[in-house]
Amino acid sequence: MRRISRPIRLAASLLLASMAALSSVLVAGAALSPVVISIDPFTQATCKASGATNHQASVEPDSFSFGSTIVAGFQVGRIYDGGACAIGFATSTDNGATWTSGLLPGITKYSGGGTFDRATDAAVAYDARHNTWIISSLVLTEAGGVKGVGIRNSLSTDGGLTWPVVTSIPNTAGMISPDKNWIVCDNTATSPFYGNCYTEWDDNGAGNRMEMSRSTDGGLTWSVAATNSAGIIGGQPVVRPDGTVIVPTANANETAIGAFNSTNGGVSWSAVTTIATIKHHTVAGSLREGPLPSAEIDGAGTVYVVWSDSRFRTGGKVNDIVITHSTNATGTTWSSLTRIPIDATSSGIDHFIPGLAVNKATAGASAQLGLTYYFYPKGSTQLSVGFTSSADAGATWSTPQTITSGMSSTWAANTSQGRMVGDYISSSYGSDNLAHGIFG
């Protein structure tokens, strides 16, 4: 839901582009055409949670891939003062060639018998040990003011095509308002914690206090959360092959990026290590965005983190996408921060809301990275989506490609924190070794 104070709607509201980030040959300048994978089915007659419920407005997608299956989760029918009418899903079992989409049942009162007024912050994981896809959602109520009240998990054991089971994470004693959840599972068969899944969130009403819960049975049951008492927002946990969980995150004020870890299967969590301070330019067009991290991991356990940052631009007037990677096994040391050279530092082009993919079939100096991102051309608030990739762990990057352009920021869902395409977007590598970027 993201309540920190920060100053598209598309006719086809959620799009997927399959990018040839790294096959055996990268074809420079190849045309990349977005494919519609979901459309908001609601109208004001079927979901009017407030006077400004946005329709044709699916926003803020996350995705995860395992083998040839890609599953995305996202908000459907974004509401002005927080949350959405429902959480949608879109699943491909053939590396993005075809898609099945729908609404998750049992979450909100607008879809499949749910009881909650709204939902938001979809995040996707796969548990290989239990053959279970999981979409984590934050559920909200309207009584006494809109606020988050819990985390729900939608489970699928048929490859992400149906979602008949919804489970709950126990609320921590004294929890006030959970926010910004994320989920990951340990899929390395040799890990001592193989089959553990971890859900992270912050308690917005308690200084954004970090909370982490774990499941050992495919998301059916969850532990009472553990905490390191740090104030955070936007954490994205990843799991190394040895079972160590590393969680890159912004601090509660979004002034620094850091990381914390667990080496004992989520029983306890370390303090936060600061990776870098944030230098961020607020973009034009009254667009809701910020420097939240996007994190992924390669096959050997190196963690890559990107966010939007203006430190390399004269006067800090526009943002680059910057990148760093872990240099030890616990995420307590990191490489120097570098800018991804999408264009020259004199370009005047503003880049924001990145979605990073790392091919887990690759590692080390040959790790394959794919990056989907929004940008404004110089002097414009016409939303565009770009893509670039690296075949050498971020040492060099391909010529960037524009996936779509010419979208007015005023088409985006109108919210109390600005026009919204999402606090995050996502990219995932399929078994075809292509990065599939998903954006709304």
173 has pLDDT over 90: no
In one-letter notation, the amino acid at residue 286 is: S
Read off the DSSP letter of residue 409.
Answer: G
CATH architecture, range 14-439: 6 Propeller (2.120)
- CB of 6 within 8 A of CB of 290? yes
Structure pTM?
A: 0.94
Single out the residue of 101, 96, 123, 88 nearest to residue 34, CA to CA: 96
- List pLDDT tens digits, range 287-307: 999 999 999 999 999 999 999
DSSP one-letter string for 360-379: TT--GGG--EEEEEEEE-TT
pLDDT at 1: 62
> Looking at the predicted structure, is the pLDDT value of residue 387 above 60?
yes
Give the range among 20-24, 252-256, 263-267, 325-329 with minimum mean pLDDT.
20-24
Average pLDDT, the chain: 93
**Which among 398, 350, 294, 395 is positioned nearest to 32, based on CA atoms?**
398
Report d(CA 7, CA 257) in Å as an integer: 20
pLDDT at residue 32, as a whole number: 66
What are the backbone angles phi and psi of residue 334, rounded to the nearest 5°?
A: -140, 155
Average pLDDT over residues 210-215: 98
Angle at 34 between CA 86 and CA 321, to 5 degrees: 85
pLDDT tens digits for range 32-84 = 678 999 999 999 899 987 767 898 889 999 999 999 999 999 999 999 999 99
pLDDT of 201: 98
Inform me whether the pLDDT recorded for 6 exceeds 80.
no
Q: What is the DSSP string of 1-43?
A: ---S------SS-EEEEEE-SSSSS--TT-----EEEE-----
* 18 phi and psi angles, rounded to 5 deg: -95, 115
Decide: 258 and 251 in contact? Cβ < 8 Å.
Answer: yes
For 81-110, b where at least 16 C-beta lie within 10 A, e where not — what string? bbbbbbbbbbbbbebbeebbbbbbbbbbeb
- Note the pLDDT of residue 5: 30
Q: Where are the domains of the chain?
A: 14-439
> What is the pLDDT averaged over residues 410-419?
94
